[in-house]
A and B are shown apart, each in its own frame.
Chain A
Amino acid sequence: MEKKSVCEEKNFELIFDDCSESLRNIIYYKCGDLNLAEDIIQDAFVKLWKNCKKVVFYKAKSYLFTVANNNLLNHIAHKKVVLKYEQKPHTELNDQDPQFIIEEKEFMAKLKKAIDNLPEKQRETFLLSRIDKKSYKEIAEITGVSVKAIEKRIHYALVSLREKLGDIL
């Protein structure tokens, strides 16, 4: 195992580069509040810096996640989550008839709502995988659970989405 010290600024920045975005997203997927998510990860990184001697380099990611997660628990009494996304332009839609475009928009709205309604852990895992393109192993590393558990969460998230959207598919 590498013996990089988190206390060295270049190593600290390496960790930041590597995982600050996905951490921000995890917290965002959990709480649906972008500003809160960024505040929380900033605090987590500052705490990592303060405790840099106690944290081993390769454990830093899961440390950050744990700190951010605990911090989040202090903040919210589980409000209803409504996530917002940047949406990629739908190339196929450009030349379609207006009826189809409307149906497509409705579907997207329902899909988003269905995702919002997933249990928190399924939601964060599913989105980290599908949007952030993180491998199951990486997600397992960050959240500190087994790959198997991640696979189950993904599986059930998808089953759940399929059920909720069943009537319009």
Chain B
Amino acid sequence: MENQTSRWAYFTKGLIIENPVLILMIGLCPTLATSSTATDAVGMSAAVAFVLIGSNIVVSLLRKLIPSNVRIPIFIVIISTFVTIIDYVMQAYQPGLYSVLGIFVPLIVVNCIILGRAEGFAYKHGVLDSFLDGAGKSVGFFIAITTMGILRELLGKGTVFNIPVAWQGFRSMPILFFTLSPGAFLIIGILKAIINKTVGGKE
């Protein structure tokens, strides 16, 4: 049995040291696609957090029952259950956000972060550990995608969370490039470079 401090590390690792997007480089597709504004990014990370924590807990609960030969299909069934729930909930209560995120909500099913944590962690660890791991990775995903969302919205629209922060002249003629997909690649490249220079480079 592991002690309290190392358990806490399952959570904190996900923030920076094992940040799913910026260090492990998984789940990049939704990160690039749904980070054009800060609001979308927060919505997306909330949906991912719900699915990731939920699927981690359930996979961990059932880990003794799932035969290892067919574990991947079973993981997918569990994950898609949660995705269906969040899909309908968002459609009902956040129709605006849902229409913006569009196909990327159903596509959470095949998000590498979620399947990766189910396979790599929850299948081998206890429920509490899996919960902490899922929560940590969710916060890590939130940090990465929201940073990108804030930067892209600031540069591409002159606002943050729809609140105007730049001066009028900039907002009427913002750097549209950053709300388009090439801007997402540029921003994630620069973030990755900063991370490599500061924490990630010393492998």
Whether chain B is bound by chain A comes out as: no
Interface residues of A (CB under 8 A from B): none
Interface residues of B (CB under 8 A from A): none
